[in-house]
């Protein structure tokens, strides 16, 4: 594990998987250095793939990136856990269900993109739900026991859940709070079955690596702020990793980080920020 900078790493790798929240932006908007850093990194003419645990579809994230001043043409692809989950669930339901399944959706900002276009109906209440999708958390407005009380009947019935955003923590304008992944963890504790999408799980990396088939995974540098998601996921995907000391990692002292590491959680590099 080596302390270095993005500028020094840019010439050493053949492609870059960049996390979104905590690396190029927070809940308030883009970091002041991030738009320029993407431009500078693109000058190396190497693939840049945004790989995010957003439970929203890729198009929604692309719209946001453009609004925040990022140039979409500089990204080889924008891949979200929500997008990976959408196509996986769509293929699961396609032509298999004899009756239209009803899905109870937990999302943020009334976002229905995780189910728009799926062969399903929105369950108006938990009693009629055949499936559960946990795509987002409104933990800045609702406590954890709101979700556990809401979902306990579903867990008791054994309703299958899909977690399309596995982040345990999320960035809010008022600081860190619990993410959709923690809601899904609680659902599992209550006995509910959960299928997980996004980092550190392998399918999202398979999607991303398929965008750059000519590049060896070891020559891909994954940059993220989460030990549990970005660093562990890159290790499992046989990629290299750099932990940025922004986002979630900014709240932890390095000694605390080091003491919590397992072998698979150790980043190859630590950089102060995604900046040149």
Q: Alpha-carbon dihedral of residues 108, 110, 114, 117, nearest 10 degrees?
A: -170
82, 57 Cβ separation under 8 angstroms = yes
pLDDT at 107: 93
Q: What number is the average pLDDT over the span 3-18?
A: 97
Same domain, 147 and 178: yes
Residue 179 lies in a domain: yes
Residue 102 lies in a domain: yes
Total residue length of the chain: 276
Same domain, 120 and 156: yes
Residue 125 lies in a domain: yes
d(CA 9, CA 3): 11
Q: pLDDT-based confidence at 113, cuts 50/70/90?
A: confident
Residue 87 lies in a domain: no
Average predicted confidence (pLDDT) for the chain: 92
DSSP conformation class of 231: I
Spatial CB neighbours of 258, under 8 Å, sequence gap ≥ 6: none
Same domain, 264 and 237: yes
Residue 61 lies in a domain: no
Residue 20 lies in a domain: yes
Same domain, 190 and 206: no
Q: How many CB atoms lie within 10 A of CB 193?
A: 13
Same domain, 208 and 192: no
Same domain, 210 and 149: no
Same domain, 114 and 188: yes
pLDDT at 120: 87
Same domain, 146 and 237: no
Overall number of domains in the chain: 2
Predicted confidence (pLDDT) at residue 97 exceeds the cutoff of 70? no
Question: How confident is the model over 117-147, as pLDDT tens digits?
Answer: 888 889 989 999 999 999 999 998 899 999 9
Predicted confidence (pLDDT) at residue 57 exceeds the cutoff of 80? yes
Spatial CB neighbours of 59, under 8 Å, sequence gap ≥ 6: 113
Domain, as residue range, for 169: 97-196
CATH number at residue 20: 3.40.50.1000
Query: Is omega for the bond preceding 200 within 30 degrees of 0, making it cis?
Result: yes
Q: pLDDT-based confidence at 1, cuts 50/70/90?
A: confident
Same domain, 208 and 262: yes
246, 31 Cβ separation under 8 angstroms = yes
Same domain, 220 and 142: no
Residue 9 lies in a domain: yes
Same domain, 186 and 226: no
Q: Among the three residues 161, 178, 196, which one is the final residue of a domain in this structure?
A: 196
Residue 90 lies in a domain: no
Q: Is pLDDT larger for residue 41 or for residue 176? A: 41
């Amino acid at each position: 594990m080596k302390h270095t900078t993005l500028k020094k790493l840019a010439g050493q790798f053949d492609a870059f998987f960049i996390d979104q929240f905590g690396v190029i932006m927070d809940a308030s908007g883009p970091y002041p250095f991030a738009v320029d850093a993407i431009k500078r990194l693109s000058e190396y003419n190497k693939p840049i793939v945004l790989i995010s645990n957003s439970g929203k579809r890729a198009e929604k994230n692309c719209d946001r990136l453009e609004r925040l001043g990022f140039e979409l043409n500089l990204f080889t692809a924008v891949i979200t856990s929500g997008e990976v989950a959408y196509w996986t669930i769509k293929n699961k339901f396609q032509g298999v269900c004899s009756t239209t399944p009803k899905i109870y959706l937990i999302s943020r900002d009334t976002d229905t993109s995780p189910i728009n276009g799926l062969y399903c109906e929105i369950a108006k209440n938990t009693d009629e739900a055949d499936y559960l999708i946990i795509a987002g958390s409104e933990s800045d407005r609702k406590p954890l026991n709101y979700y556990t009380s809401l979902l306990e009947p579903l867990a008791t019935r054994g309703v299958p859940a899909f977690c399309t955003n596995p982040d345990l923590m999320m960035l809010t304008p008022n600081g860190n709070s619990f993410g959709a992944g923690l809601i899904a963890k609680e659902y599992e504790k209550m006995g509910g079955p959960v299928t997980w999408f996004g980092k550190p799980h392998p399918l999202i990396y398979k999607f991303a690596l398929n965008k750059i088939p000519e590049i060896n995974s070891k020559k891909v540098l994954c940059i993220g702020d989460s030990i549990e998601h970005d660093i562990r996921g890159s290790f499992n995907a046989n990629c290299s990793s750099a932990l940025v000391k922004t986002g979630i990692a900014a709240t932890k002292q390095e000694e605390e980080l080091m003491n919590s590491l397992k072998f698979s959680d150790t980043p190859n590099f630590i950089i102060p920020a995604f900046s040149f």
